Amino acid sequence: MSRNQERLGRSMEPKYVKRRQRGIAVVIASIIVILGALIYIGFRLGNTSADYEGTGNGTTQLVEVPEGSSMSELGPALVEKNVVKTQDAFDSAASMNHGASQIQPGFYRLQEEMSADAAVEALLDENNRVDMLEVQGGATLEDVKVVGGDVRYGIYSLISEVSCNDGNCLKKEDLEKVAAETDPAELGAPEWALDAINKRGNDPKRIEGLIAPGQYVLDPNMEAKDILKDLITRSTKRYNETNIEERAQAIGLSPYELLTSASLVEREAPAGEFDKVARVILNRLDEPMRLEFDSTVNYGLEDVELATTDEARGEKTPWNTYAKEGLPDTPIASPSDDAIKAMEEPAEGNWKFFVTVDKEGTTVFSDSYDEHLGRVDDAIRSGVLDSKREGEGAGSGNGDAAAEQPAQ
């Protein structure tokens, strides 16, 4: 071998070695990838003892996703209910699903013996979630039948609707019975409301206003007593955490009176006028003069409308502020935070009267009765006070935005 050949061979040897090493590394990496894939496939497909197949056996289980929990925390409960076979299979399926982090709190209807993949997909499907209870500001416990119109469903009916589980629903009557007969303290009512509630005897409306507006996740497996206790306890905690006793004292009311006054604002005031109606309430209480709100008349009637009649306004009920002094005996609805705030921070003014004067909802506030009568005439001419009751003409009241008259 010539020197040139020898030198050429030595110069090529490192390159050859490097290429060979790279080739071996590629082969090893490929083997690792293939082995990993085989292990995964074997786990997911071959190892049938780790997972069920399909979307379930037809038997429904109710699964709770608590507030703030993640998909990965649900495995033990799903295994216990026989929704999935193993926690490992569920955890693996959850980790492979990019939407798992979007799971929402609530109760979900799943089936027993679901594959882990199917269970994850079912938990991400809103159609499987039990409806939440939504209590809006101004909601009442009982249904309200509107003359010539629809039924406005109350909180008892709404609870009955969202409590249904496989066709079994709580009965509205059972909720009413619990509200009427159970010690309100046992239901979680605030201490500052107990005396007023107990004075109402066995009236199922005695807990009116104690279920605060908001969205609630309910367990459909609960009994009527447990659901009402859950709702009232949560609402009481919410009210007390806002220092409602000190806030009420600042405007010369008890906490229960603040809640009751705010419920009147909720039922009487059009949007944007809460603080003005709150001022009317406080001005009238300070006089003192009767509130004479048509919403308090309607609260005691079987059916309601914007116009109230002389007969209805003359009927003595625990709520009718045409026929009684001061505030109603209970709230007449669930007051929103905005309504409560309006009572605490009322607008500045000397108004003692207000009336909605047209069907667009324009509300006029007046200081004097004579001025107010002129606005009532405007309301009558616009048809706002026309009654839909057979054989009855317009009343001088104005439903949920009062056209008050002074007490005789």
Residue-wise pLDDT for 299-335, tens only, equals: 988 888 777 888 999 999 999 999 999 999 999 999 9
Phi, psi (5° rounding) for residue 129?
-85, 135
Mean residue pLDDT of the chain comes to 86
Q: Quote the strand ranges of 23-143, DSSP E.
A: 60-65, 106-111, 133-135
The model's pTM is 0.76
Rounded distance between C-alpha atoms, residue 277 and residue 354, angstroms: 8
Instruction: Read off the pLDDT of residues 224-269 as tens digits, 9 standing for 90 and up.
Output: 999 999 999 999 999 999 999 999 999 999 999 999 999 999 999 9
Q: How is domain 58-129 classified at the architecture level of CATH?
A: 2-Layer Sandwich (3.30)
| Beta strand ranges found along 144-195 (DSSP E) | 144-146, 151-152
State how far Cα 203 lies from the chain centre.
Answer: 24
Which one has a higher pLDDT value, 389 or 53?
A: 53
**In sequence order, which ranges of 287-368 are alpha helices (DSSP H)?**
294-299, 310-314, 337-344
Asked if residues 134 and 215 have their Cβ atoms less than 8 Å apart, the reply is: yes
Given a cut of 50, whether residue 44 has pLDDT beyond it is yes
Q: Cα–Cα distance between 275 and 273 in angstroms, integer?
A: 6
Give the model's confidence band at 219: pLDDT under 50 very low, under 70 low, under 90 confident, else very high: confident
The pLDDT, as a whole number, for residue 396 is 41
In Å, how far are 39, 71, 286, 373 from 67, measured between CA atoms? 36, 12, 45, 53
Ranges in the chain annotated CATH 3.30.1490.480: 58-129
